[in-house]
Amino acid sequence: MARRHDPERRQRIIDAAIRVVGRGGIAGLSHRSVAAEADVPLGSTTYHFKTLDELMVAALRQANEGFAKVVAAHGGLEDPRTDLAAGLAGLMGAWLAGERTGVELEYELYLAALRRPALRPVAEEWCEGVAGQLSRRTDPVTARALVALMDGICLQVLLTGAPYDEGYAREVLGRVIAGGDAAPGRGGTSGA
C-alpha cells in the first residue's frame, strides 16, 4: 500500500521508467506502464512528470550518469603524464563490460533525441560535459572529435554484438589526439 507522504516517489518513478525502457524500449514507455512498474497510482506519474518527454528527460539525465561515473572513478584522465588514448580506451572497455542493459538504455535514450526535441538539450549536455573534461588534456575541437569517435565505437559494439577491441580503440583515439596536437597553435608546423 502506497504511503501518503512518500519523498522518494519521484525517484522511484524515474527508476521504474528506466526499467520499462530497458525491458521494452522507448515504445513501451507510458505513464501507465511506469506507474505499474513503480507500484504507484497513475496520478503520481502525471503529478511528477506532466508529459512523457519530461519523464524521459529525467531518465536520460540519470542514465547519462553511468559513463560520467566511470570517468570520475578513473581520475587519471587529467594527469598529463598518462596516455590519454589508453585511458579513454580503458574507460570504454570498463563501461561496455558493465551491465549491458544500462549501456544499451543510455544509448536508446540518447538516440531518442533524434525524434524527441525535448531530449536534445540533455544529450547535448552529456556530449559537452565529456568534451569539457577532455578539453583539459587537448583542444576543444579534438575533445569533441574524441567524443564522436567514442560514441561511434560504442554504437558499433552494441549494434553488431562484436567484442570490444581495446587495442583498436586506443589506436584510433591516439590518431585523433596526435592530429589535434599537430593543429595550428598546438605545436604543429603550420602557423597562425
Indicate the fold that domain 8-50 takes in CATH.
Arc Repressor Mutant, subunit A (1.10.10)
Express each pLDDT in 41-70 by its tens digit: 999 999 999 999 999 889 888 877 767 677
Q: How far is CA 131 from CA 11, 85, 139, in A?
A: 28, 14, 10
Is pLDDT at 188 greater than 60 in this prediction? no
Q: Span 66-87, mean pLDDT?
A: 78
Three-state SS across 129-160? Answer: HHHHHHCCCCCHHHHHHHHHHHHHHHHHHHHH
State which H helix or E strand residue 62 sits in: helix 52-74
% residues pLDDT > 70 (the chain): 88
Q: Span 147-173, mean pLDDT?
A: 94
The rounded mean pLDDT for the chain is 84
In this prediction the pTM is: 0.77
Q: Per CATH, the architecture of 64-181 is what? A: Orthogonal Bundle (1.10)
Express each pLDDT in 108-142 by its tens digit: 877 888 888 988 888 888 888 888 888 988 999 99
User: Strand, helix or coil at 80?
Assistant: coil
| In contact, 33 and 42? CB cutoff 8 Å | no
Express each pLDDT in 10-37 by its tens digit: 999 999 998 898 888 888 899 999 999 9
- Domain residue limits, the chain: 8-50, 64-181
pLDDT value at residue 190: 34
